[in-house]
Amino acid sequence: MDDPFERSISSRPSKKALTTSNHLRHVESLATLPSGAGRISKLNAVILGESLASEEDDLVFPSGDFSRQAHVPSPQKYLDMYKMSIEDPAGFWSDIASQFYWKQRWGQPVYSENLDIRKGRIKIEWFKGGMTNICYNCLDRNIESGNGEKTAFFWEGNEPGEDGNLTYNQLLQRVCQLANYLKHIGVKKGDAVVIYLPMLMELPIAMLACARIGAVHSVVFAGFSAESLAQRIMDCKPKVVITCNAVRRGSKIIYLKDIVDAALADSAQNGFAVGES
């Protein structure tokens, strides 16, 4: 059997769920939720990831068939998982990690920490000794499971009707093309890559390409100014910056390449020139 890491060629992206920063604080209230249709607070509805049918907080529960296919099929299951994550974090994360492909499994313990400066350097280590590849787990693993022709990503553009999608097979092909190009221009494992892109399909492609070759990507919001981008370039000292010529936001065209050029000039004047390290 060939080594998947030597081939030239994301867990499936989960559906967007509503979240709240206070959900852990209020999770106990889930235990008292009704099992059928009813009326609950917006907070509890947000915790469940449910849709509010109206401003009057009418709650629409998913069908039984839909719930049974969910990764977390019930509020009680969520509570059980949350409890385990608090009481036995090593066991919890070991179980989660075991669902993925590992070229080399981690040793024991699952994690170690030192939070006392008197005992040495502050550090937290997870899965020490383990080796895997996030891109392989996101793409190859799903293709090998027979999902190659299923949709991996949907894309919605600036205007109604501007949309598209990529299957796992198509996404893997594009990711490998970019990964091989990055290797060709000298990007190596451990190098940093800044990604300054709008919400295009090329954004996840670039992220996965970096993960495939072991490069560390830093996604910079494409609405930031040249000065803000330059600061982030100087902070992470990337080998390369990935961007596009321009993007349309509403009726306005944003010339991203011009912003990147200004940021590169700024960072060079302040002591760091991209591509020369």
**How far, in Å, CA of 184 to CA of 186, rounded?**
5
Give residue 259's identity as a one-letter amino acid code: I
- Using CA of residue 141, residue 142, residue 148, residue 153, what is the dihedral sign? negative
The full set of domain ranges for the chain reads 10-87, 134-269
CATH of 134-269, one of 1.20.1250.20, 3.90.1150.10, 3.30.420.10, 3.40.50.980: 3.40.50.980
Residue 218 is inside which H or E element, if any? strand 216-219
102 contacts 132 by C-beta, under 8 angstroms: yes
**pTM of the complete model:** 0.73
Q: Specify the length of the chain in residues.
A: 277
Looking at the DSSP bridge assignments, the partners of residue 219 are 195
Per-residue pLDDT of the chain (277 residues; tens, 9 = 90+): 445 444 443 334 443 333 333 333 334 444 444 444 444 444 554 545 444 444 456 778 788 888 888 888 888 999 999 999 999 999 999 999 999 999 999 988 898 999 999 999 999 999 999 999 999 999 999 999 999 999 999 999 888 888 999 999 999 999 999 999 999 999 999 999 999 999 999 999 999 999 999 999 999 999 999 999 999 999 999 999 999 999 988 889 999 999 999 999 999 999 999 977 6
- Assign 258 to helix, strand or coil: helix
Give the DSSP letter string of 136-189.
IIIIIHHIIIIITTSEEEEEE-SSTT-EEEEEHHHHHHHHHHHHHHHHHTT--T
